[in-house]
Structure 1
């Protein structure tokens, strides 16, 4: 256990959603003297200064301008703020068989059975009325309290539950929140209690919509009449913590990919101005394909790079030469070897927890690493006595991907994929190594600072 790992645990506990993670990034950047830029306004940048901006309250870009970026380019580390989750649907309250349920939709690819029988709360953002329809007020909210649970069906009623494990995504992930919603707009609809409720919810729609706004108002400081819309997610309230005989593990959800977000942040905050420009891109929506304005499969990062260099008097053609001189490090967690299922991994390239950063390879470039880009990081790590590991999928397994190929393709930049090892990826309770985080921060700091 170390200070960096303790700070990671605090960061995880403060970041139930991508919105909250971005808010934490903003807070720490401002504390360290980074100036916030308004993307809708003209910029007046200076060499050697620190800046950041955000989009959608869920993605952040921070950078330190270099004084010779024309010749030295950019060094960029990218990660993503989102994690697999259960998102609350619009008009979500369902009244059925004497209970009130929240209707949910799957975001990304979570391990669904890990959401059962957990104490859950709600967090996200609300959009509030303001002076004009095109200038509305957005605020982050977190209910914080244990509010919901998705109960399992007893094994006595589903004898094969330990064999099939199949989950009904339509109704099996609705979260139970109450038997009686004691709110001022709630109406006792006895007729609805006496009939079979259907998924189409063809009655009580207006009342149930009001009930959800009342629920938000009850747990926040916002008046129901001011609430126009909400974007909320369920999250487990169990706190991140250290575990293991020597506290060598970090047990928490969202380590994929908030661990990489936090290590990137800490490396950038520790950096000083260099001839090259140092940049951190914290994308959103990686878990659903990155095809959003704040995702990696967009002009988001490329447009910001252009704005930076043009503001510092570069010419249009300079952009292309700068990109050729730049390097992208795509930071996303790597699969650690599971001792109970070691046959599912490659025979040789099988990283373990607390043994250092993981270089990720894939022959079909689902990871962007190649010999030339990997050698840069390997040289830095070997010169500084940092242990490292390799990961490749077992040859008959397709595996996943990350933002690396998408961002590198958008920018046309040389790139590689790196991550800390993680067990139970996409579970509500993932398991990482407490010493790996400090080693990753060291590697990222070297990437930013070394000649």
Structure 2
């Protein structure tokens, strides 16, 4: 058999053995990984929502990239971007090879599980004011109880003006909370399933308890409305045309005595978005034109105008093709000559729950970026099943560039499963494979990653963008 070591396979006679980055990397590589993850940690701490993530990237990249609309013609080296409704970002860079020879795409998603307020959310009960919420994406509802929550809001008024609000992230600001039942009264709750014991309709966020003087009914609600009006100019009816999200408050933190890991909100899938963005800008003169696309709504099925199924991708590519001096009839040829990575996270084996994994086919924490051949569930249901030829192509690139990588899958065949946006890329007849960072406690308010895996993901994406064939 062979040993997975430093991104290349070496002959062994006994077993397929994974080696972690901290074990085999030189000191310089370890320092580079830690420094890279410091930047990642700070960026995610400041950019927890789709809108802020897109804006955050454009803020730091403003000197290196221009809107596609500002280009009349595109030539090698030109770097551009397009956005879609403030929640989708596509970065592009024209390579030295003719566009007709194909492109290199890395596509991730920047939405994460959270709580969104309902259309008519504000109410008072027993002199406490609440906001009713929907949960967004697949969550374990009990994990969101009693933790400090921050509020991110985009309020759009009837005249079209917007108000951006963030409350709960800065020192001294208030946070918000959802209560839980005390164990002393939990006898009946304990007899229920997790789904029954924690109903979605109970995910109501407490936002105040002081009554307004002079009011006879809903006095606490009246006081909250006064605060919203005085501080932000918001009326209750303005909440109808708003996007208000509650996410875990606080910054991403180093985890472990050795600081080898990162604990924070939204790493699924912002870790892949951030690493692909950094790789995109760090490959200055690619052979093939490179594209880094970040989409919305993956966690709720990719059905809207800002999702991977939107025609936005096709519209942008048509414009790129025309400005590169070709006809849009060449779209088919260009796309079929292209290659793509669906940049999404995968699980790693959790020793506390070994029974749900196939140990032989599950990635390990700290052993590198995860190359996921099969997604979906119940066998290969929902998988894009990339070809053996394309898997070999990706392996060769990673090994040539000494990328620390490992194969993986989400769990036992009939234990569950999960899908990605890969299917919406592959439908264009683009060779596509899932490849991303391994995550523990996926979809929890605070997810755990290894710094070695985060940095390996960046190196993998950089190698993909740099490939000359």
Q: Tell me if TM exceeds 0.5.
A: yes
TM bucket normalised to smaller: 0.7 to 0.9
Which residue number corresponds to residue 437 of structure 1? 454
- 2:393 paired with 1:369: no
Pick aligned residue for 2:296 from 272, 276, 284: 284
Report if aligned partners of 1:91, 1:212 keep a CA contact under 8 Å in 2: no
Matches of 1:289 and 1:261, distance apart in 2: 18
Unpaired stretches in structure 1, ≥5 consecutive residues: 131-135, 194-206
- Tell me the equivalent position of 1:35: 66
Q: 1:162 to 1:256 in 2, by over 3 A?
A: farther
Map 1:17-416 to 2 at 5 A: 17-31=49-63, 33-37=64-68, 44-47=72-75, 48-130=77-159, 136-144=160-168, 145-159=173-187, 161=189, 164-165=193-194, 166-180=196-210, 188-190=215-217, 214-217=226-229, 220=232, 222=233, 229-362=241-374, 363-392=380-409, 393-409=411-427, 411-416=428-433
**3-state SS of paired residue (1:294):** coil
Q: Distance in 2 between matches of 1:386 and 1:68?
A: 25
- CA distance in structure 1 between the partners assigned to 2:108 and 2:214 by the alignment: 46
Q: 2:435 aligns with which of 387, 399, 418?
A: 418
* Corresponding residue SS for 2:395: helix
Relative to structure 1, the CA distance from residue 395 to residue 176 in structure 2 (aligned partners, 3 Å threshold; closer, same or farther) is same
- TM-score, normalised with respect to structure 2: 0.84
Superposed CA deviations along residues 121-167 of structure 1, whole A, max 9, x for unmatched, are 2103121354xxxxx23343212333311111001111254563334
Per-residue CA distance 1:228-279 (angstroms, 9 max, x = gap): 7321101111321011121111101100011011101100111213342110
CA spacing shift, 1:225–1:90, aligned 2, 3 Å:
closer
Distance 1:314-1:211 versus aligned 2 partners, 3 A rule: farther
More helix by share: 2
Aligned-residue CA RMSD (Å): 2.4
Alpha-carbon distance between aligned partners in 1 of 2:91 and 2:238, rounded to the nearest angstrom:
31
**1:436: Cα distance to partner?**
1.1
User: 1:214, CA displacement in angstroms?
Assistant: 4.7
Q: Which range moves more in the overlay, 224-233 or 344-353?
A: 224-233
Residue 427 of structure 1: how far off its partner (Å): 0.2
In 2, Cα distance between equivalents of 1:223 and 1:98: 22
Q: 1:181 Cα shift?
A: 5.5
CA shift in 2, pair 1:214/1:92, >3 Å: farther
Range moving further from structure 2, 354-363 or 332-341 = 354-363
Asked if the contact 1:111–1:428 (Cα under 8 Å) also holds between the matched residues in 2, the reply is no
- The answer on whether the counterparts of 1:30 and 1:36 sit within 8 Å (CA) in structure 2 is no
Distance in 1, Cα, partners of 2:224 & 2:285: 49
CA distance in 2, matches of 1:399, 1:293: 26
Structure 1 window deviating more from structure 2 (87-96 vs 326-335): it is 87-96
1:19/1:140 contact within 8 Å kept: no
List per-residue Cα deviations over 1:200-243 (Å, max 9, x = no partner).
xxxxxxx96x87665545555x5659957321101111321011
**Whole-angstrom distance in 1 between the partners of 2:175 and 2:49:** 16
- Judged with a 3 Å threshold, the aligned counterparts in structure 2 of structure 1 residues 226 and 427 are, in CA distance, closer, same or farther, namely closer
Alpha carbons 2:175, 2:249 under 8 Å: kept:
no
Name the SS of the counterpart of 2:303 in structure 1: coil
Per-residue deviation, 1:356: 0.2
Q: CA deviation at 1:379?
A: 0.7
Q: Secondary structure at the match of 1:140?
A: strand
Change (3 A) 1:99 1:277: same
Please state whether the residue corresponding to 1:319 is helix, strand or coil. Answer: helix
Q: Is the 8 A contact 2:99 2:289 kept in 1?
A: no
Supply the distance in 2 between the matched residues of 1:211 and 1:21 (Cα, whole angstroms): 33
Tell me the equivalent position of 1:204: none
User: SS where residue 199 of structure 2 aligns?
Assistant: coil
